[in-house]
Amino acid sequence: MNAQKVRKVVIAGGGTAGWIAATALSRFLGPLLDITLVESDDIGTVGVGEATIPTHRTFHYLTGIDEREFMRATKATFKLGIAFENWARLGDRYIHSFGQIGKPNWMGEFYNIWMLAKDRGIGGELGDYCFELRAAEEGKFFTSEQAKTNYAYHLDASLYAAYLRQKCEGRGVRRVEGLIERVEQDPESGFIRALHLKSGEAIEGDLFIDCTGFRGVLIEQTLETGYEDWSHWLPTDSALAVQTRATGPALPYTRAIAHHAGWRWRIPLQHRVGNGLVFCSEYMSPDEAHDLLAQQVEGERLSEPRLIRYKTGRRKKVWNKNCIALGLSSGFVEPLESTSIHLIQINATRLVQQFPFAGCSEAISNHFNAQAERELEKIRDFIILHYKATEREDSPFWKAQKDAVVPDSLSQRIALFRENGLVYRDPDELFLTDSWLQVMLGQRIDPKGYHHMGRLMTDDQMDMVLNGIRNNINKALEKMPSHQDFVDQYCRVDEA
């Protein structure tokens, strides 16, 4: 056997990214590695990534995390999708749910049958045939080992990091408190050798994971990897975040409410509500954003609004030499579809699968980078779609989004759907066909055509199929408790 050349892993920075990395590595490769995480209590974390997508559950399943324990520790609630308000037009509302719409077959997706039924005056709205969407609309939720509901979570990101830390330290991960003052590199290869802390301690390693947030202390300040700016496609560059006391039952979905220069979020947790206002500084000042958030936020404030500046884009290499960037240090795509934590988890698990025991090489880093790049570009296109496919011209911001030039990859997707009603998903992309479909229709892209598989059925047969799906959903919903009632009995944390 070849000698193991990479054994000492040093994670620079804690927060959600650092402790997810530590969780994956210690859970799967713990006996083979020496893992140290360096973080400082003096450095705050962004800590507003409070909404997730269903892949979060897969990560927890793989890492052996108990759902109820996790939800109590992070004061979490359930999430069935995102409600988009005022996006295509003022007054519009649609839900991008996590569920499957109808029953597809090998020939095509269910929506082709639904489109024909709609033309023939048969059936209802598309959402009538999606269990998760209907449950979200009615504010209901239930899960069990037998249930097949597709859902995610709303969680407190700071509590989540603390929860994962406890798990990791129990598996032997060493946490070092300290500020990184200097990064030592090999003079010939440029590989990172050690982190020198303000305390004078040196933390040596073979592989370094940069979880230092937007600063990118290792990947950018040290290795000068470079950044690919996507702000010409996604121009929002600022966000205000504030926490408020809940004013009513927690709903099982995130709200994304567009305003004249961006959008704002509302995320219900057990103990509070996370609120934020995303905006483009070219069209709105921080003071204007403060005023708008103050006008629209509901409930007593539990914190003061905090301004976060960012630039949408990606690091030119996620893996450079013997350093891998995770989380905000690797890039940032705005939080519209709650993909930030997923990107940390997928790259952390990808590192487990491709761990460089024999040493870091260009071959393995190039392969890793190509996979990460493809996935992120598909996510980028999905988010741009929400802005590009708008009919709003009521403000300079929205008119600019409507008229903007978008990546060719997205233009092709939009044209395929507009002309032929065709939606597809590449093998290496995150969002399913039903996600693309819900957003395209919700943003008022009206297809001129669709697959005629439905014409192989009579009207009576089509009516029977549609009614069967809808009736099954109705029966299931009748038995379900409200989301708030289910949370209360399943994982409620009572405040002291």
Give all strands (DSSP E) within 48-92, no chain letters: 77-79, 81-85
Q: For residue 404, which of 267, 274, 231, 256 has the smallest C-alpha distance?
A: 231
**Class of domain 8-50+156-230+313-360 (CATH, top level):** alpha beta
Is-contact 369 319, C-beta < 8 A?
yes
Distance CA 432, CA 314 (A): 23
Is-contact 133 81, C-beta < 8 A?
yes
**What confidence score (pLDDT) does residue 482 get?**
98
Distance CA 213, CA 220 (A): 11
- Angle 112-54-436 from CA coordinates, rounded to 5°: 30
DSSP tag of 222 = I
**What confidence score (pLDDT) does residue 48 get?**
59
Percent of the chain with pLDDT over 70: 98
Q: Report whether pLDDT(399) > 50.
A: yes
Distance CA 343, CA 329 (A): 12
Which tens digit of pLDDT belongs to each residue from 325-374? 999 999 999 999 999 999 999 999 999 999 999 999 999 999 999 999 99
Which tens digit of pLDDT belongs to each residue from 459-484? 999 999 999 999 999 999 999 999 99
Helix (H) or strand (E) holding 252: none
pTM of this structure: 0.95
Rounded average pLDDT over 26-35: 97
Q: Report whether pLDDT(44) > 80.
A: no
Q: Report whether pLDDT(234) > 60.
A: yes
**What confidence score (pLDDT) does residue 45 get?**
61
Distance CA 164, CA 35 (A): 14
**Residue 358 main-chain phi, psi, to 5 deg:** -85, 0
Distance CA 465, CA 110 (A): 11
Task: Read off the tokens for 250.
Answer: 């927690």
- Angle 322-326-328 from CA coordinates, rounded to 5°: 130
Among the ranges given (34-48, 82-96, 194-208), the one the predictor scored with the smallest mean pLDDT: 34-48
DSSP 305-331: -EEEE---EEES-SEETTEEE-GGGGE
**What confidence score (pLDDT) does residue 496 get?**
46
Catalytic residues: 79
**Residue 184 main-chain phi, psi, to 5 deg:** -90, 130
**What confidence score (pLDDT) does residue 238 get?**
97
Residue pointed to by tokens 């009995």: 489
**What confidence score (pLDDT) does residue 313 get?**
97
Q: For residue 170, which of 13, 35, 15 has the smallest C-alpha distance?
A: 35
Distance CA 23, CA 247 (A): 35
Mean pLDDT of the chain: 94
